[in-house]
Structure 1
Amino acid sequence: MASSWHSLVSQKIFLARTLLGQLDENESVPVREALAQGSIELALRARKLVLVMIARMYQEKQARPDSLRALSELLGDEIPETAELNQLAGAANSWWNHLEQLEQHQGNPPTAKKTVSDENVIAVSADPGPDRSKPALEQTLNAIKHFTDTLEERHSWW
């Protein structure tokens, strides 16, 4: 049963990559933004499906955990998958953390930019948000794919 979930995760990753592949081919700003946001949404969906895939691997046939915390509550922190995901969640440059940042950024309105005048010229670092570049998104998608392929391989003989 986990294999069908692996296929679904792989499909979302493939579709996200397909959208990313069209970024370079389009010069329209709204279309490029739609492609980037669509790719991110598919990657976020794949991440949630990874949690369901793991639950199914452990015979939780009805469970649909929607967060790492929910998965940990369901299966515990002792299994390798929750331990790995918790480690990824704590690592600043991990694919899990990158998706967390993207979800936070994409799920909130843009922050208001301060106007600059002669009276308030103070050097302030603006938060540009998470890296939404094509290479960064491709790297994250590749990492999710590698993670899920490893899980599928690890559990396929069961």
Structure 2
Amino acid sequence: MASQWHSLVSQKLFLARTLLSQLENDSGPMKDRPATEAELAMGREAVIQGAIELLLRSRRLLLVMIARLYQKRSEEPATLDELAALIGEAPNDIARLRELESQPGSWWNHLDQMEASQSRPPVTRKSVSAENIIAVSADTGPDRSAQGLRRTLGAMKNFADDLEEQHSEW
């Protein structure tokens, strides 16, 4: 049963990878005329946001997969805290996820940042003029580059595959 969930997680990750590959083929929509800069920018943003949503869905499905590995057949935890409440803090899988959650550069942390970013309107930026130039570091948000998303995707895929392999050995 859990392997079906692993397949579903893998499918979502594959779809996200497929979307990200479209960023390299940035030729625009299939039309008789070349795409405008605005069309290319909108297409790129749609691909990035779509890939992020698939990664976020994959993470949620990963939590359900873990619940199934621990014989929790009807529960579908949406957060790590819900999963921990369901199966306890003792299992090694929870400890690994907790460590990833607290690690600044981890795939889990990257997904947390992207989820927060996607769930809020963009920050309004002040216009720069000669009178108001002050050197301040601006929050640029999470890494939404294709390379950054691929790195997170690969780390998630490795985690899910390792988890499936460990539990199928029993």
Q: Distance in 2 between matches of 1:116 and 1:151?
A: 49
Q: 2:157 aligns with which of 145, 151, 155?
A: 145
Per-residue CA shift, 1:37-69, capped at 9, x if unaligned?
Answer: 100100000000000000000000011000011
Aligned counterpart, 2:52: 40
Q: Which has the larger radius of gyration?
A: 2
Q: Within 5 A, what are the aligned runs for 1:1-158? A: 1-26=1-26, 28-158=40-170
Cα deviation, residue 124, structure 1? 1.7
Structure 1 stretch displaced more, 2-11 or 124-133: 124-133
Cα deviation, residue 118, structure 1? 2.9
**Aligned-pair identity (%):** 56
Large movers: runs of 4+ above 6 Å: none
Q: Which amino acid aligns with 1:84?
A: R
Under a length normalisation based on structure 1, what TM-score does the superposition of the two structures give? 0.97
Aligned length: 158
Per-residue CA shift, 1:91-149, capped at 9, x if unaligned?
Answer: 00000000000111111100000122233221121111100111111110000000000
Q: Which amino acid aligns with 1:139?
A: R
Q: Distance in 1 between matches of 2:132 and 2:161?
A: 52
Structure 1 stretch displaced more, 113-122 or 71-80: 113-122
Q: Distance in 2 between matches of 1:115 and 1:16?
A: 35
Q: Distance in 2 between matches of 1:96 and 1:121?
A: 36
CA RMSD of aligned residues (A): 0.9
What 5-or-longer segments of structure 1 have no aligned partner?
none
Under a length normalisation based on structure 2, what TM-score does the superposition of the two structures give? 0.90
